[in-house]
Structure 1
Amino acid sequence: MDAKPGRLWVVATPIGNLGDLSTRARDTLRAVGVVAAEDTRHSAPLLAHAGSRARTLALHEHNEREQAARIVEHLCAGIDVALISDAGTPLVSDPGFRLVRAAREAGCEVSPVPGPCAAIAALSAAGLPSDRFVFEGFLPAKAAARHERLQALAAETRTLIFYESSHRILESLEAAVEVFGAQRAAVLARELTKLFETIIAAPLGEIASRVAADANQQRGEFVLLISGAEGDAADATLAEGRRVFALLREELPPARAAKLAAAITGAPRKALYEAADGGR
């Protein structure tokens, strides 16, 4: 008789404070036979804290395709596996979706063990509109690509959430000021739940200036939240995008014209392209 497949547990772990490890997460890490961790050395203290003696396997962005197949073999053999990231909820700007997809395709059950997530923790304390928001993860490392991504979001009316690293936070703030304007409301959350936690709520220009003037505010892990565009500003951006799109469409195919108009004006490319479809 074939063994009953194991279950893949997607376990959220603390983003800094070990006290945030839930009882259910601790029990799960103790009960599984294998823990798939982004960095096994980084996760060792956490697993020791939880009292887990599970075998650990490294699963990160460079080996996920290969390791997913290996982990599914464990699941199919009846072994429960826990997936954890270095911090927070797996798959949120972290590896894991290929493993989850492979497990489901193999007929294995996948269950979440909810817990900390830096993006949601920051949003909950930001005081910005939280009924609708967009999680954008990390901005591109290269300046031109970063500017293009921000420009494409200039007319977005939902609250924007980004992750950023210490060595790019100042450049990203300066780019955001350039695209969204110095007066756009924003919040910068640094080192959430840790000893030097800092949450700055101010216009983007002021946040950028404070970070530039204080080297301590350039250290750690960051969540940047930016208020969405006001209705009038969003409408004006879209109107300008359509004007530029109409000019470009005279010389270019609709898809190319929409992409360029979006990059130039910050209007949503999808809305411009849909306008092209409607105009046929």
Structure 2
Amino acid sequence: MPNDDSLKISVLASSSSGNATYIETPKHRVLVDAGLSGIKIKRAMDSIGKDITKVDSLFVTHEHTDHIQGVGVLARRYGLSVYANQKTWEAMLPKIGKISEDQINVFNHNKVMSLDDLDVESFAVSHDAIDPQFYKFYHNGKEFVILTDTGYVSDRVQKTIENADGYLMECNHDVEMLREGFYPWPLKQRILSEKGHLSNEDGAHTLMDVIGNKTKQIFLGHLSHENNTKTAAREEVTQVLEDHDFGVGSDFKINDTDPAIADPLIDL
């Protein structure tokens, strides 16, 4: 394990088709979601120079396929401890196949748990899953927040995630691209609803509300293949933040994410 005491992160994949994030402390190596096949997640880990056999824990946000596709395979193959809330477990188990009972850990929302040098806080969000939740990770004074599937951000969530060192923030769609695209109207309505996804503009305004003096790294995540581009997301978020006098590029960095190429491992 590393000698330094930093909180390390890599967004292994983030899009409407598959999501996985790697987080490392000196004592723990964890994944958040496994929405790609097991082999693709292993290859993503290899690409950042990390051994998937060293991962010990997997935190699941909700039961949609783009977040759980590889959960069963990884749990069985590498003996991972898997954490999700009770309702998510009930919805997820029929989809992921049998795993050992001692790997099943119930972690309900609005709780804090400790894994040695890593504290994890869960918080409920508004999405069209059975009981979705996301996570804030704490280590050695550093905080990293993942929030990629929600139709809106409540005051409670905003307060929970304020002034973190790093964010993986949803920027799912460009509203005009979605409205003018080929999706059927009921699907457009679902995406735009309070149980859907944050748009580029929504993500930008959420960041405006939560960025603090500690914030150094922002990842724009869960982009739709059909209704967004990296350029559109980055330009809109940058413009909104700069219009409100935030120091994009000086106080903090905005990073793209990709469906198939892992972001380099960074220290927060």
Indicate the structure with greater strand content: 2
Indicate the structure with greater helix content: 1
Q: Same fold (TM over 0.5)?
A: no
How high is the TM-score relative to the length of structure 2? 0.31
Which has the higher Rg, Structure 1 or Structure 2? 1
